[in-house]
Structure 1
Amino acid sequence: MTSRSQQKAREADPRFQRSYQALIGAILALVDQEPVGQISIIRVVEAAGVTRPTFYQHFPDVAAAAQAAALRRLDAAFVPLDARDAEASSTVAALRQRIEDRARPALQHLAAHRTFYLRVIEGAATAAFFGEVVRLVAAHLLPDTSELIARRGNASRQDLTDMLAGGTMWLVVRWLRGELDEDADGLAQRLAGISVALVQPDLPAGGQGSGS
């Protein structure tokens, strides 16, 4: 049995999944209370009710556990995509509203857990973590937008998606840090406006979009 197949078998084990969920819950609770750098593995395993060797089956260190917990929490904050909505996004106004409606609950969630996410960003984040955030943003907020701009044929869809999702992520990070004076609704409108500006030549106006 190869190392890869061993990993898959282990991940399918209910005990492995239970200990993983326990560790994620523990690190979420601990980072809600204090910075990542002040949290030890001993405290995480005590809170999770698992052993130290079990921790190392899942994560190399506390920072990696905090990253995983943040990505899990963020992923759950997005509204599930409905394929039928994409068919309705045939005008600038419809697409803008669709992006706002996707972004708003995620931004409201980020605002409610601002301290947690800032602690992860400032105390645990790596390039790989930001890459995963970009992937989430692209998958949840921008799938139809990136396809529209990719039709122009001057860049790959993946490149365009990464550029737009990366820019979106850094605007949100700046917002979390208090550098942008907007609430969640205002930022959702701003992100939607930026996105549709890239595809506006490819879609009919379809009436006024919301926001500025």
Structure 2
Amino acid sequence: MDPRKQRSRDRLYAAALELAAEHPIADLTVTQLAGAAGVHRSTFYEHADSPQALVEAALTAELDVLREELLKDRADAATAVAKVTEAVLRHILIHVDLYRRELADGAGGLHAMLSRHFRGTTETLLERGRIDLDVTVEGMPPARVADAAARFLADGTVGIIDGWLRHPSARVEDFLRVYAALLPSWWPHSPAA
């Protein structure tokens, strides 16, 4: 991406996250976001087709950095997953007002965005052999079982995040205790000593 376009995108992302922290995403307008970013409306449309899409892209960009760190981490899978899980929770707490409000009804775009992110991470870890899905279902191809497992884990994780954020004193330790208790046995969640 050329530097000018990168700067515009970065300004739009920053404006989107700042305004979405204060206002429901559904209330944001292209004019408002472009103005806050100091760009023209046409520049907005070079990066997103709606305020919702821009907010999701800004959050996804931050989450993708964390995913890349996980994929580069050569520690055992459980240690790497534990580190990135805590990093994702810190990301959520940085944007806590936004996530708390937009996940509250369970039907918003952020639920789907987070689910896609977690599903993609699980699929990548399975494809790269970092996780062994030691589960078979009679008469079901392994690829379908893997797809179901990735979707199950992703949507369950978002559900736990939603429940965790409903408590005003959401602490990372509280999330991690519940999460560890509910994770399936095939998911790496006990780092090597």
Partner deviation per Cα, 1:176-210 (whole Å, 9 max, x = no partner): 1239x862112123323322x4239xx9x999x9x
Pick the aligned partner of 2:10 from 21, 26, 37: 21
Displacement after TM superposition at 1:130 (Å): 3.8
Q: Is the 8 A contact 1:45 1:52 kept in 2?
A: yes
| Structure 2: gaps of 5 or more residues | none
Percent of pairs identical after alignment? 23
Structure number with higher helix proportion: 1
Partner deviation per Cα, 1:56-111 (whole Å, 9 max, x = no partner): 2222221221222222234445681244213xx5xxxxx3x554333223223323
- Indicate yes or no: 2:34 matched with 1:34: no
Report the equivalent of 1:107.
89
Q: Is the 8 A contact 2:17 2:55 kept in 1?
A: yes
* Alignment length (residue pairs): 181
Q: CA 1:188–1:100 in 2, change beyond 3 Å: closer, same or farther?
A: farther
1:13 and 1:158 mapped to 2: Cα distance? 36
1:73 and 1:102 mapped to 2: Cα distance? 12
Pick the aligned partner of 2:32 from 34, 43, 47: 43
Q: Is the 8 A contact 1:100 1:191 kept in 2?
A: no
Pick the aligned partner of 1:187 from 171, 175, 180: 175
**Aligned with 1:148: secondary structure?**
coil
2:147 partner amino acid: Q
Partner deviation per Cα, 1:143-198 (whole Å, 9 max, x = no partner): 3698322x43334323211211211111112211239x862112123323322x42
1:58 and 1:98 mapped to 2: Cα distance? 32
RMSD: 3.6
2:88 and 2:27 mapped to 1: Cα distance? 28
TM-score using structure 2 length: 0.72
2:174 partner amino acid: G
